[in-house]
């Protein structure tokens, strides 16, 4: 590791640890927002549908949404050349934009294509439409991430 003459190893380490904690906390908030967006689209409480009903459709949609948000957050962190505060703000904005894009995609699939998320999540067996929606979530995350980078 190369240090400039004005920086000490412990100062840099401390700043990096602070950045990790701050980005992890922001990522957790964005994951929760993404989770609750999927929760609104599914019948019943998503946690109960996953834990008690063991519904594979709701589980796959929630998981795909989390992967998409994670990719966006990771790309935002990677692309940030700014100071910590500006990087956190940019990551929050990009994360929210990605979540909104997922909401729009769910509405398009629901209204235009006719894949009713609430109906899919009532099915006990994994449905082809759920796979398509899950891939859509991940692709939106990737597209948003590449737009950031």
Tokens 């946690």 — which residue? 47
Helical (H) or strand (E) element with 134: helix 128-148
Residue 114 is given by DSSP the state -
Report pLDDT digits (tens) over 11-47: 888 888 999 999 999 999 999 998 888 888 777 888 8
- If you write DSSP's letter for every residue of 43-73 in order, what string do you get? SS-HHHHHHTS--HHHHHHHHHHHHHHHHHH
Q: 36 and 69 in contact (C-beta within 8 Å)?
A: no
- Rounded CA-CA distance 69/17 in Å is 22
Residue 5 is given by DSSP the state T
Question: CB atoms < 10 A from the CB of 49, how many?
Answer: 20
* Spans in the chain with pLDDT lower than 70: 1-6
| pTM for this predicted structure | 0.81
């Amino acid at each position: 590791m190369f240090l400039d003459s004005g920086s000490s190893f412990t100062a840099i380490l401390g700043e990096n640890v602070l950045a990790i904690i701050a980005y992890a906390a922001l990522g957790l908030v964005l994951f929760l927002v993404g989770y609750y967006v999927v929760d609104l689209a599914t019948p019943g409480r998503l946690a109960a549908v996953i834990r008690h009903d063991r519904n594979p459709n709701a589980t796959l949609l929630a998981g795909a949404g989390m992967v998409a948000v994670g990719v966006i957050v990771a790309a935002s962190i990677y692309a940030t050349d700014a100071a910590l505060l500006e990087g956190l703000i940019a990551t929050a904005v990009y994360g929210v934009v990605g979540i909104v894009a997922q909401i729009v995609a769910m509405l398009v699939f629901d209204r235009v294509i006719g894949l009713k998320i609430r109906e899919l999540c009532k099915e006990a067996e994994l449905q082809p439409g759920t796979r398509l929606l899950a891939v859509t979530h991940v692709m939106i995350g990737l597209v948003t991430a590449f737009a950031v980078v």
